[in-house]
Amino acid sequence: MNTMTTLFGGLAAVLVLYAFGGLFRNLPPMLRAVLAGVVPLIAYFAFIVGQWPGLDVVAMHISVFLAAALVLHALNQFRQRGAGRMHWAPRLLTGFFIGLVFLNAALLQISTKGLPEPLASWWLGSEGGPVYSGFSGVVSHSQNAAKAVSSELNETYRESRLGWQVEFSGLEGTGLSRMIQVRVKDRTGLPVDRVEAELILQRPGAATPTLRLPLGATEAGVYTGSLSLPSTGRWLLELRIKQNGEVHFHNIQELIAS
């Protein structure tokens, strides 16, 4: 189940629970709104146990569920007072929270799946080919970026001196499960064994990896593993090959799962 489903499904649950709470006449209005917002949150927290989606995604669910319950409470209180035409302030508040929900959903969609192809082509310019990507670069954007650039250049130089030939297969298609195979040869074409190969999966721009997958040796110079993506959208897959505890090769590729 993806984040869009839990977000709008939970929002629908808030509406249903608030309407159901109206059947109990002795239930205080504020408690009715609190229950309508908190119960879907508790269900969501139980759902994400063992599959943490990130603090930003969790915070978005909290704000949307509680804001929806607050808006429903405000509208119900105004209707019970029978004050005639609604004042512009509650209408503005309602419109703000509705817009907030759709804005959060749009940003979430872009962060995980990227811009829709027609919009990306118009905004970024294509000149006949796709230019939109979730790849944020091999160097993180931080205060230590200058040191990271120097380290990256040194690593690239060592890789060119080493001359390993690395063949990567299994990235084809858009499914969530893929069998990855990496074939490593030295400069002369002979297989390279006794190395540690690892795949690191993360969202574009994420600070920490979502998944680390060690690859096992099946024959001389061949390393395989079964990769299961947690959800659809754009992912960055990094391959690291170590020998004697030192990284001798690394490569980052973008995956798109649907």
Question: The CATH number of 163-257 is which of 2.120.10.30, 1.10.10.10, 2.60.40.2550, 3.40.50.720?
Answer: 2.60.40.2550
At 1 the pLDDT is 58
Residue 29 pLDDT grade (very low, low, confident, very high; cuts 50, 70, 90): confident
Query: Taking all residues of the chain, what is their mean pLDDT, rounded to a whole number?
Result: 79
175: pLDDT strictly greater than 70? yes
- Residue 252 β-bridge partners: 238
pLDDT, average across residues 121-134: 60
- For residue 155, the model assigns a pLDDT of 57
Question: Which is more confidently placed, 24 or 133?
Answer: 24
pTM for the whole structure: 0.53
Domain borders along the chain are 3-113, 163-257
Minimum mean pLDDT range among 21-25, 69-73, 150-154, 195-199: 150-154
For residue 128, the one-letter residue type is: G
* Core vs surface per residue 56-93: b (16+ CB within 10 A) or e: ebbebbeebbbbbbbbbbbeeeeeeeeeeeeeeeeeeb
- Sign of torsion over alpha carbons 149, 153, 159, 160: positive
